[in-house]
Amino acid sequence: MRRTLTTGLRHAALLVSAAAFLAPVAFLVVGSFKPEGRILADAGSWRAFFPAHWTLDNYRDVFARVDFVRFLLNSLLINGAMVLSGLAVNSLAAYALARLRWAGRPFVLGLVLATLVVPFEAIAVPLFYGLSAIGWRDDWSVQVVPFVANPLSIWLFYVFFAGLPRELEEAARVDGAGVLRTFLTVVVPNARAAFATVAIVTLLFYWGMYLWPLLMTAGPHARPLPLAIATFYTLPPLRWGDILAFGTLMVAPVLLLFILFQRAFVRGVAATGIKG
């Protein structure tokens, strides 16, 4: 009886915690299908999550009031380039730190760990002035290149590579494979979970970035989705239904990607966590 009661209380606590985390998302999605006049009116009652009337007008307004397709393509281009280039650069850097022996390796590894505690806001202004001085602004590439090398990604790859059996790489070396060939043909196929984890973590972190695009872009041609949703505050009249619909459309790609690769993500997090 005591074990059953403990299990029931634990499950109840988990359900309450899950409901608390999911409530804002549910309000976002449900509110995007509600008439404009009912969004704030139902905010304090159960109708906030169970509306009496459903409508697609908010989604029609999104495509009519802003160039949503352009902003979506900008976000896909920026984040896709950032993730793909980051996987290549950070995995190679982590492999060099985990497997190769060279002078200064402990110092570089410590430097990578030290940069983990430095928030981006602390270097945003110096980085802005430095890139502005060379005229590198208002382009999609300036939103990618400064974030390709990522200390968190390097650390996640490092922990995973450090736990791989060395016998696999030694066998490849005996067969005449070099460092790069060993990495591509032996290490990468055995690190798919780590690559999936780093890709999803990178996308989740940078998909909603607001400060850097705000500083570096002046026109809509290079602006991503987080800046586009802010334009609704300058488009009279202010319609909360349109904002909620835009937010739902902005979250949908990331949520779909996580659902598709959640098994690899969970395996990668578990593996890096155990080895760390």
* CATH number of residue 106's parent domain: 1.10.3720.10
Domain total of the chain = 2
Q: Quote the distance between the C-alpha of residue 157 and its chain's center.
A: 16
Same domain? 106 vs 2: no
> What does the pLDDT read at residue 171?
83
Does residue 131 lie within any of the structural domains?
A: yes
Residue 123 is assigned to a structural domain of this protein? yes
The model carries a pTM of 0.84
Torsion of Cα atoms, 89 then 90 then 94 then 100, to 10°: 10
- CB-based contact 192:264 (threshold 8 Å): yes
- The verdict on residue 182 lying in a domain is yes
**Closest to 187 in 3D by CA, of 159, 153, 164:** 164
Phi, psi of 236 (to 5 degrees): -70, 145
Q: Which residues form the domain of 47?
A: 1-55
Neighbours of 256 (CB within 10 A): 10
Whether omega for the bond prior to residue 253 falls within 30 degrees of 0, making it cis, is no
Per-residue pLDDT for the chain (276 aa), expressed as one digit of tens each?
778 888 888 899 999 998 888 888 888 898 889 888 888 777 777 777 887 788 899 999 899 888 899 999 999 999 999 999 999 999 999 999 998 888 888 899 999 989 888 888 889 999 999 998 988 888 889 999 999 999 999 999 998 898 888 888 888 888 888 888 889 888 898 888 889 889 988 998 899 899 999 999 887 788 899 988 888 777 788 888 889 999 999 998 888 887 877 776 666 666 555 444
Position 271 scores a pLDDT of 59
51 shares its domain with 75: no
Query: In terms of C-beta density within 10 A (0-12 exposed, 13-18 middle, 19 or more buried), how is residue 29 classed?
Result: middle
Kindly state whether residue 244 falls inside one of the protein's structural domains.
no
